[in-house]
Structure formats: C-alpha cells, structure tokens
Structure 1
Amino acid sequence: MGSIETPPTSEVTIPIIDVSGFLAGDAKATASAALELRNACENQGFLQVIGHSVPVYTQKKFLAAITAFFALPLEEKEKLSQSNSPCYRGYERVGGQKLDELDSDATPDQKEGFSVRPERPLGKFLAGPNQWPEEAVLPGFREAYMEYFWAVHSLSKSMFQLIALSLSLDRTYFDAFAADPDGICLCRAHHYNPTPPDAAGRTRGVGAHTDFGALTLLLQDTVGGLEVLHKRMGTWHAVPPVEGAYVCNIGDLMQCWTNNRYRSTMHRVISPLSQTDRYSCAFFNDGALDMMIEALPGCVPEGEKPAYEPLRVEKHIVERSSMSRSHA
C-alpha cells in the first residue's frame, strides 16, 4: 500500500448551509442560501446541506438496510456482482475501483459498494434493471433503498435550482437536465472496514479524485474519513460528519458548464484508525445523456473565449467511468 502523505488539518471550515427557507419558498432565505452556495462553490467547492427534504427516518432505514446487506456472506453478495450486469448495477467487491488521480502507484480503493440506478429497459448507456437480493435473504431491502433513492433525487433537483439562482439564472434553468427520465443518476452505498490502531498505516478507502459529473450529495455516518484538498494551499482538510447532513459538491461537468467559475474539488476517503465500520452513500445526478455542455450565460468574461469546447454528457461519463474501472 502506498503511503498516505499530508495528514489533514482543521484550518479550513467546510460551509454548512441551511436550505430549509429556500425549500419553503422564503425569498430572503433563498437569496441568502444562493449567496452562501456561490461563495462555497467559488472557493472550497464543498459544503454541507442541512434543513433539507430527506426525512430522518428514511435515512436511518436506508443505513440499517445497507448495514445488513454488507454483513451478508461474501458468496451471497457476489451473486449480485456488477460483473453480471451489463449496466454496472449491484455489488462491487473491495478493490473494484481505483479512483486515485494523484498517485499512479496507489492501491485500488479499499471499500465495497452496492449501486442502484432507476429501473429502465436495456438500451441507452447505463440503462437497465437493478440487481436485488432475494426478499427471503434481506426483507425490505429493495423498498428501503428505492425510498431513499427518490427522496435524494428530489433533493438533488432542488439543489440544481439553488445552483441556478446562485449563478443569477432562472430557477428552472437546470430542470430539464436534472429531471430527465433517462438521465444519469446513481446511488452507491459504501462500506469501509475498520482500521485498527496497530495497522501499518491508514488505508486509502477512496483515492484522490474529482467527481465525474454535475452534482454529488453524500450521506456519511459519524465515523469520518472524508478529506478535501484546498486548492490554493495544497493541503488536505477533514470534512467533519454532521448527522443527517448532505455533503454537497460539484463535479467536472459543472466546472465545464460554469467555465471554471465553480471548480470541482479533489477529495478522498482515508480510513481513520477505528474499530468501527464506516458507511456512506453517494448520490450522483449527472443529468441528461444528450445534453451538450457549453459555457453558461455570465460565465465567460467579455472578450474571452470559453475554456472548454462543447461537451456531450454521455461521451464524458463513458470516458471517465472506463478509466476508473480499467485501473482497478
């Protein structure tokens, strides 16, 4: 295992934004939340969202369901292996991905996962059926997972509206992109094994990377381990867990869309020294496959050209997804 350099520091505070007023339609609170989000995306690129629309009981039921799934015997989980799915749904063994973009010698990511997308017929890229454990093996798992999926999907659409307002665009500017019925949405649950104090070193749960797409909403438990790279200082900083909150960050597509005004941020998960298993779930709303990403109004200074050529969402996601799997 490669060494984990640059221990995280606590000098940088990850903003915590309360979106309850925005979701309730309060004009003053909406303006304040949009400004806070703009400042976060132009500076650190990460924030935490509280006062959101996902019920606590939905989160807890979901976390209990994935805890039970990952506790199943390996042979039971492997029945749902992604290798059985033409659309990359289902169980992902430890080492199934390698996302580190800073260290070519890094080991594959030391986590296991379970991925779900909307149920679709096979056809378009990543469209298809999910894989599920039998009801007799894990009662209520599918119900809890999809209840959670659609609750966070709804929140993601609201967050796109707040992003639009933060860029002085019409609130509905991203609606067609974020709510496309054939869009690229992924809900991936993760499990990280404990790292005991006598371990040779902390493990690279997820290597340093930027997210591929447009918007990520991450639910993490209380164990910790998520770290972000401060752009100007070049130092790693912990993202302290806030119970029930969503860590929100933009990805490379939104960086292109905003012509580098909002930048995707390098982040990683380094398993802390702990006797406790860590669970998290990342929800990615990467939008409509056929969308052409071009610089947004107001994001190109007068007299300058956009930093990026027009980019089709599907082409970008295909290329980045293939890279993460080919190195695992």
Structure 2
Amino acid sequence: MGSFEATTTATDAAAATAAAITIPIIDIGPFLAGNETATPAIAAALRAACSNQGFLQVVGHSVPAALQTRFLSAVAAFFALPLRDKAALDQSRSACYRGYERLGGQKLDELDAEATTDQKEGFSVRPERALGRFLAGPNQWPPEGVLPGFREVYMEYFWAVHELSKAMFQLMALSLGLEKTYFDAFAADPDGICLCRAHHYPPTPPDVLGRTRGVGAHTDFGALTLLLQDSVGGLEVLHKRTGTWHAVPPVEGAYVCNIGDLMQRWTNDRYQSTMHRVISPLSNMDRYSCAFFNDGALDVVIEALPGCVEEGESPVYAPLRVEEHIVERYVQSYGAGGTLIGKAVE
C-alpha cells in the first residue's frame, strides 16, 4: 500500500467515525421511580457517555413539560422588553453579578484568541442570599408591573431543575462505583452557588467563516450542567479524537447534560469536560435556552475521588477549593468581554 493510499484510507476512516458520532439519549425515569433492577444499566450508560464524550441528553426526568413551556415563554417575554428595562437590571448594578447580561458581555472562546465576544444576552439567577461571599447575594427582578409573574415562574423552574440536578449527581455517584448519596451534600447544599442562566441568541450576520459565535468554544466551569434548549438548534460539541464539531440536535423536553472542569478534576480525568459552542441562528429565528449549573458550595475541596487513582500513581491535580476555581474562571471570561468581575464582596 502506498503512502498516499494509506493516508487517504486513514482520512476516510476518521471521516466515517466522525459522521457516526451521536450524543446518547438516556431515560432516567426508571431510576427516579426507584427501579433498582433498571438502575445499574442507567448508571452504566451514564458512565459510557461521560467517559467517551462528556455529553448526553436526559429524558424521563422530573421537570414537567408544561413548566418548561411556561418558563421559555416567560424568558422570551423578558428578552423582548425594551433595552432600558433590561439595562435597569444589568449585572453591573449587582454586587453579586445577578441579572441582565448584555450582548458581547462575555467571551468564552478558549481556542481562538481573535474570536468575537459571545453574541448572546442573558439573565442570571441564583439562590437568594445575604451579600458577602463571592456570587452570594440577592437577585434582581423586573417590576411586577413590567413583567407580571416572571419571578414566580423563574423560581419554580429553578427549584424543579435543582431537584433534577441532585438526582443526576446520585446517578453520577453510581456510575463511579460510589454510594448513591456520595454527592448529596455537595449538590443540595443550601449555601451553594447554583446558577440558572437564561440565554437569547438573536439572528446575526455570518462572520468571515460563514457562521457566528453565539458562544465561543469552551468547557463549563463547574461540576454538572443541565441545558434546556428550544427547537432552533446551534449547540455543537467537539469530538476529542477526530477534532470535529458535531451538532446536538434538540430533543423536545430533554436536558442536555454535560460534565464540567470540576468533575474532570474530581474524577482524575476519568470523565473529561468537553469543548462546546453555540452557533447563532442564521435564519430569522431567535434561539432561547437555559443552562443550570450546580457547582456546589464555595468551600468544598475538589480532589481525586476514591477509585479514580490507580495504585502506585499520583493524582493528576492538586486539591482545589471551588471558590478559587470559580473566581478565576469568572474573572477571565467576563474580563475578556470587557466586564469587570470582582474577586469578592467585602
């Protein structure tokens, strides 16, 4: 076999592999129903997804479809408000960075230093807290007279997805051969910094590459993400072995679930966070989504989990406090978009 033929065959094989990549869809309904017979297979499917690509879609979950619909409608209504009403809730007015995020306020692209800022606007909510620790504090809300019922449906949705995230952490524990409750305190900590951030991606003109960056290529900061996306599409993941990008087709009612950098550290690279991006709509349709990040409490120390370090080997990463990691990533990503994020509120 000549070298050209060998190269062509290898290229064709890589292309075939890339074309065959799919994001697994996992039904967690039996686990939530307490079916102990079905649970091991669900945990095994999660382990395969996290070990391979780090992305999956979850169906059979506990968040009602009607609540998802009401929430996305409320989000669309918020982003349709006049800019002056949204700007009144700008995160620059919040000591804990809650509220409205302007178009281009963040730049997450980790692969292209010349990338444009992210072409999305957002609205961020966390649990209500007293001011003090990094990201702790009160939320900002539009006045009831401006957007009736918005706060109520947003928080109803927040706590529903928070419950789902706790269940996913239990499955994560089982997938790693740990007790189901191993992550319970981390996932349910009432002083945690869970974030529920809604996004709006307006249609934008294509850049020189024929596409636009709704969100640049990045890995998520924390431990576990649950994303609700509408039917427009645009989310893409980077396949590690082939270096090719692949769409995550919207599945009605499903949650796209992916692990973040903290879980990669926790599992000593057994589970690796995956680069992903959002390509803005190139039609006249707006895209809406909402990402829920359960990153635990600031004082939790992330170090290699039991069973994730081979005998005779050392952990890949040194122990790291959640706060140290989150502060660094927030300062970097928002600073790249020209948004100043302080390291703490004194």
Structure 1-normalised TM-score? 0.96
What count of residue pairs does the alignment treat as equivalent?
320
- 1:189 alignment partner in structure 2: 198
> Is 2:201–2:281's contact at 8 Å kept on the other side of the alignment?
no
- 1:323 alignment partner in structure 2: 332
- 1:265 alignment partner in structure 2: 274
The 5 Å alignment of 1:131-210 reads: 131-195=140-204, 201-210=210-219
Q: Tell me, in whole angstroms, the C-alpha distance in 2 between the residues paired with 1:28 and 1:276.
A: 44
Equivalent position SS for 1:153: helix
Among 5, 30, 47, the alignment partner of 2:39 is 30
Does 1:14 find its partner at 2:23?
Answer: yes
Q: Tell me, in whole angstroms, the C-alpha distance in 1 between the residues paired with 2:136 and 2:206.
A: 43
Q: Tell me, in whole angstroms, the C-alpha distance in 1 between the residues paired with 2:263 and 2:64.
A: 27
Amino acid at match of 1:208: A
Percent identity between matched residues is 77
- 1:6 alignment partner in structure 2: none
Q: Tell me, in whole angstroms, the C-alpha distance in 2 between the residues paired with 1:84 and 1:142.
A: 18
Report how far residue 199 of structure 1 moved.
9.6
Equivalent position SS for 2:37: helix
Report how far residue 28 of structure 1 moved.
2.0
> Is 1:10–1:238's contact at 8 Å kept on the other side of the alignment?
no
Among 85, 97, 100, the alignment partner of 1:91 is 100
Equivalent position SS for 2:256: strand
- 1:249 alignment partner in structure 2: 258
Does 1:310 find its partner at 2:310?
Answer: no
Q: Tell me, in whole angstroms, the C-alpha distance in 1 between the residues paired with 2:215 and 2:37.
A: 39
Q: Tell me, in whole angstroms, the C-alpha distance in 2 between the residues paired with 1:25 and 1:239.
A: 29
Amino acid at match of 1:239: V
Among 227, 231, 234, the alignment partner of 1:225 is 234
Amino acid at match of 1:315: E
The 5 Å alignment of 1:33-112 reads: 33-112=42-121
Amino acid at match of 1:38: R
With over 3 angstroms needed to count, the CA separation of the structure-2 counterparts of 1:318 and 1:203, relative to structure 1, is same
Does 1:295 find its partner at 2:326?
Answer: no
- 1:4 alignment partner in structure 2: none
The 5 Å alignment of 1:273-292 reads: 273-292=282-301
- 1:124 alignment partner in structure 2: 133
Report how far residue 11 of structure 1 moved.
3.0
Equivalent position SS for 1:163: helix
> Is 1:11–1:237's contact at 8 Å kept on the other side of the alignment?
no
> Is 1:219–1:245's contact at 8 Å kept on the other side of the alignment?
yes
Structure 2: runs of 5 or more not aligned:
1-17, 338-346
Structure 1: runs of 5 or more not aligned:
1-8
Structure 2-normalised TM-score? 0.91
Over the residues paired in the alignment, what is the CA RMSD in angstroms? 1.3
